Amino acid sequence: MSTIEPTTRLTRHETAVAAPPEEVFALAADVTRWPHVYGPIVYAEVTRDDGAEQALRSWTSVDGVVRSAASRRTLDRTARRIVFREVAPSAPLAAMGGEWRVEAGPSGGCRVVLLHDYAVVDDDAEATARVAEAVETSGVQKLDALRTTAERAAAAGAGDEPTFTFGDSERIRGSARDVYAFLDRADRWPALLPHVAATRFTEEEGGIQLLDMDTRGPDGSLHRTRSVRVSFPERGLLVHKQLTMPPLMAGHTGRWTFVQHGDEVVATSWHTVTLDAAGARRALGESATLADARALVRHALGTNSSTMLRHAKEYAEAAREG
């Protein structure tokens, strides 16, 4: 066993944000929004909440590889500070933590500071260089993403918030387990769903799924999407994040939930979408508004979800009948 005490290294990144500090802090603190703020994050959740002290778990996709990590953090909402620490960092990291600071600035804006402290096992020189590059890239990208998201929301007019959430539900006489099985096994969809032409599906340890899917549009054209999914069968939860975006969307995440009531299950498909205003104008014309894009996306995603739910209903109810 190594007796070397690794060196702790410190980094600091900061940026100015043209948005109120209270709103920027709320964005940094809300883990449910992280997948729409930070591109590599697939899913994040609070696993324990004691007020100022929280435990978190997140799933991050980097270069096609998805890893989960547990962390803890302390929130000081008055000072607008978040101190975080990974619980069991993966090698070559011996330790990783840091702090977010949101400081009020002139004209209603703010400055955001992101600090990191980390140590590498045995101070290995090659590993230290890789980690230093990754921390530098991540720090810059996270601040850029936070600034872009906050300023986009601050600039939006009333009713023009680019991010919105909606759901579609189906009541099914059957077992939540059967409904879940239908939606979980995406490799079977081409044989079960008329609008799915092909899928390329892999599943790794921990319920991590990678899904490429070709779907047929009303005109017969094929559309390819790539998503990462995380399956939680014991919790009746299946979450997903789309990695390739059509012109109207800057981000798209979703989840399937299954609630059993006696011999009936309510299955719901939830979507959270962030619209791309510039992409909407390119696709729909210069006069297109976010409301136009929202209506189109809502219809397209809702139609696909409702179709899948109807087929899941048929599958589960047939299974119940024997």
CATH superfamily of 163-320: START domain (3.30.530.20)
Contact 32, 122 (CB under 8 A): no
Same fold for the pair 9-155 and 163-320: yes
Hey, what CATH topology would domain 9-155 get?
Answer: Alpha-D-Glucose-1,6-Bisphosphate; Chain A, domain 4 (3.30.530)
Contact 100, 28 (CB under 8 A): yes
Contact 248, 276 (CB under 8 A): yes
Q: Check pLDDT > 50 for residue 182.
A: yes
pLDDT band at 1 (very low <50, low <70, confident <90, very high): very low
Confidence at residue 159, expressed as pLDDT on a 0 to 100 scale: 62
User: Per residue in 134-172, pLDDT tens?
Assistant: 999 999 999 999 999 999 888 876 567 889 999 999 999
Q: Provide CB contacts within 8 A for 257, sequence distance 6+.
A: 236, 237, 267, 268, 270
Confidence at residue 184, expressed as pLDDT on a 0 to 100 scale: 95
Q: Which two tokens stand for residue 16?
A: 């100015």
The C-alpha angle 100, 102, 103, rounded to 5 degrees, equals: 140
User: Per residue in 235-285, pLDDT tens?
Assistant: 999 999 999 888 899 999 999 999 999 999 999 999 999 998 889 999 999
For the beta sheet containing 110-120, the strands, ordered from the edge strand earlier in sequence to the opposite edge, are 9-17, 110-120, 93-104, 81-86, 65-76, 53-62, 41-49
Q: Which two tokens stand for residue 290?
A: 């976010």
Per-domain residue ranges for the chain? 9-155, 163-320
Backbone angles phi, psi at 149, to 5 degrees: -65, -45
